């Protein structure tokens, strides 16, 4: 059976599904939860006249099948290789999806809207490094450390910022990256502690750990589970736990290694 029927605004089934999948893929990359991605794709396809839309989304995979009024089907899948948390871009994508559902624009108009999304504004380097220093030193003092502990944690967090800017863009596996960073910071903190500058080494470790804890990711995983997306939520949760373990192992290995080396 030939499938030549056009949907609303002259959109073909392939164009519509490509558009919806592009939106969904971008949303996943920006950190959107699974049910939001699935709902967006479903609403866009339904708005253009599809009689049935089946969507499946997890953090690394996206699949959708639409059924057009003539009974023909279109299916596409996407493999998601990485994602982050860009709430500014996600807000723009949500606004575009609402615009699409209300106005039913042509394909080229939607492409223009998507291309007009500006990249998230980067903070100046001095603002970012100040955030690292402030958060790390504040947590070190908050959990019972001295002012000197806070200053050391802040100084090491500045090094953590430099490592993030130089090495993180290389796309290294996050488990290995977190282990490497925390091991290096743990070794440096221990050596500084030998000079007598640090009053409570464990409080310095706590301040540095807070830079790497995947709190947002863990929160999103629990939200997915509560929304009924068990598979997506469990995948996020497992990844969060593994990242937390790699962080703990990095610091623990630095302590054990130096204990053996120094004694």
Which CATH architecture does the domain made up of 8-115 adopt? 2-Layer Sandwich (3.30)
Q: Is the pLDDT of residue 138 over 90?
A: yes
What is the per-residue pLDDT for 43?
A: 94
Q: For the chain, give every residue range classified as CATH 3.30.1300.
A: 8-115
Q: In whole angstroms, what is the distance from residue 215 CA to residue 193 CA?
A: 28
pLDDT in the model for residue 121:
60
Section 89-108 average pLDDT:
90
pLDDT at residue 263, rounded to an integer? 67
pLDDT band at 228 (very low <50, low <70, confident <90, very high): confident
- Confidence (pLDDT) at 1: 47
CA 188 to chain centre: 29
Residue 122 has pLDDT above 70, yes or no: no
- Within 10 angstroms of residue 138's Cβ, the number of other Cβ atoms is 15
The pLDDT value given to residue 5:
57
What confidence score (pLDDT) does residue 87 get?
A: 83
pLDDT in tens, 13-67: 888 999 999 999 999 998 888 889 999 999 999 999 899 999 999 888 999 999 9
């Amino acid at each position: 059976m030939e499938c030549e029927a056009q949907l609303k605004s002259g959109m073909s089934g392939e164009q519509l599904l490509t558009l919806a999948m592009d939106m969904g893929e971008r949303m996943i990359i920006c950190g959107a939860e699974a049910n939001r991605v699935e709902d967006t794709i479903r609403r866009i396809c339904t708005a253009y006249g599809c009689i049935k839309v089946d969507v499946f989304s997890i953090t690394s995979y996206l699949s959708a099948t639409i059924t057009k009024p003539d009974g023909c089907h279109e299916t596409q899948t996407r493999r998601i290789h990485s994602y982050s948390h860009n709430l500014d871009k996600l807000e723009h994508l949500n606004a575009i999806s609402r615009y699409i559902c209300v106005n039913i624009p042509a394909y080229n108009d939607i492409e223009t809207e998507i291309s007009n999304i500006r990249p998230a504004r980067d903070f100046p380097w001095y603002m970012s490094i100040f955030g690292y220093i402030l958060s790390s030193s504040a947590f070190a003092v908050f959990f019972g450390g001295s002012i000197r502990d806070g200053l050391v944690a802040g100084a090491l967090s500045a090094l953590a910022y430099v490592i993030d800017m130089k090495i993180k863009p290389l796309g290294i596996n996050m488990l290995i990256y977190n282990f490497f960073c925390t091991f290096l910071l743990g070794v440096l903190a221990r050596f500084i502690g030998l000079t007598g500058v640090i009053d409570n080494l464990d409080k310095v470790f706590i301040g540095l750990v807070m830079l790497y804890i995947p709190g947002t990711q863990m929160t999103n995983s629990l939200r997915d589970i509560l929304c009924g997306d068990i598979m997506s939520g469990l995948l996020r949760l497992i990844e969060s736990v593994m990242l937390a373990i790699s962080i703990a192992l990095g610091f623990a290995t630095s302590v054990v290694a130096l204990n053996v080396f120094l004694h």
